[in-house]
């Protein structure tokens, strides 16, 4: 019985060690125009290499601001049709994260947004640019934050009327 447990434990360790750390349902896939799309960093690298214009952000499953911004991000996607990609850094392997190093240094806080125009980083920012002094992230202000986010995207050249 002990041998069986040892073999099963060893197999489990070997199988998880080969994983890239990202849940199986998160694949390299095209972005949605109705919701945020969680992707692997390797997909974002493909977008960079194809000289695409897009926005992505780094977040964490335990980050309160990331969870709050999810509704705003979804609303921005719905209103603009611009695909927005999400990389959950606490559930992504170091090997996958290293793929983005040639394009941009790793974020120092979450969420961190990255605007890319024609395969080149235009700007990175955190939610403070959107919410100002409202560090409480008041739910009643989601529409206000969404409108402000859209204006930032216009200002940076990602969204053109």
Q: Check residue 33 and give its pLDDT.
A: 65
29 pLDDT above the threshold of 80: no
Q: Two tokens at 24?
A: 């199986």
Q: Check residue 56 and give its pLDDT.
A: 93
Q: Check residue 34 and give its pLDDT.
A: 72
The 10s digit of each residue's pLDDT in 140-154 is: 677 888 888 888 889
DSSP of 39-55, one letter per residue? Answer: --HHHHHHHHHTT--EE
Q: pLDDT: is 5 or 140 the higher one?
A: 140
Q: Check residue 17 and give its pLDDT.
A: 41
Tell me how far apart the alpha carbons of residues 82 and 52 are, in angstroms, rounded to a whole number: 12
Span 14-27, average pLDDT: 46
The 10s digit of each residue's pLDDT in 111-139 is: 999 999 999 999 898 877 666 666 555 66
Contact partners, residue 9, CB within 8 Å, separation at least 6: none
Span 75-89, average pLDDT: 90
Domains of the chain: 24-155 (3.40.30.10)
Q: Check residue 161 and give its pLDDT.
A: 72
């Amino acid at each position: 019985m002990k041998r069986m447990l040892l073999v099963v434990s060893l197999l489990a360790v070997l199988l998880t060690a080969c994983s890239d750390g990202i849940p199986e349902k998160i694949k390299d896939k095209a972005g949605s125009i109705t919701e945020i799309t969680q992707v692997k960093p390797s997909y974002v690298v493909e977008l960079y290499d194809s000289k695409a214009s897009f926005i992505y952000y780094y977040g964490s499953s335990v980050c309160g601001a990331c969870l709050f911004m999810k509704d705003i991000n979804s609303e921005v996607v719905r209103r603009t049709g611009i695909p927005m990609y999400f990389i959950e850094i606490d559930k992504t392997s170091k090997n996958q994260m290293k793929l983005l190093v040639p394009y941009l240094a790793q974020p120092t806080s979450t969420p961190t947004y990255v605007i890319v125009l024609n395969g080149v980083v235009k700007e990175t920012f955190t939610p403070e640019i959107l919410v100002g002094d409202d560090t409480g992230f008041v739910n009643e202000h989601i529409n206000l934050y969404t409108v402000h986010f859209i204006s930032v995207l216009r200002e940076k050249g990602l969204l053109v009327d």
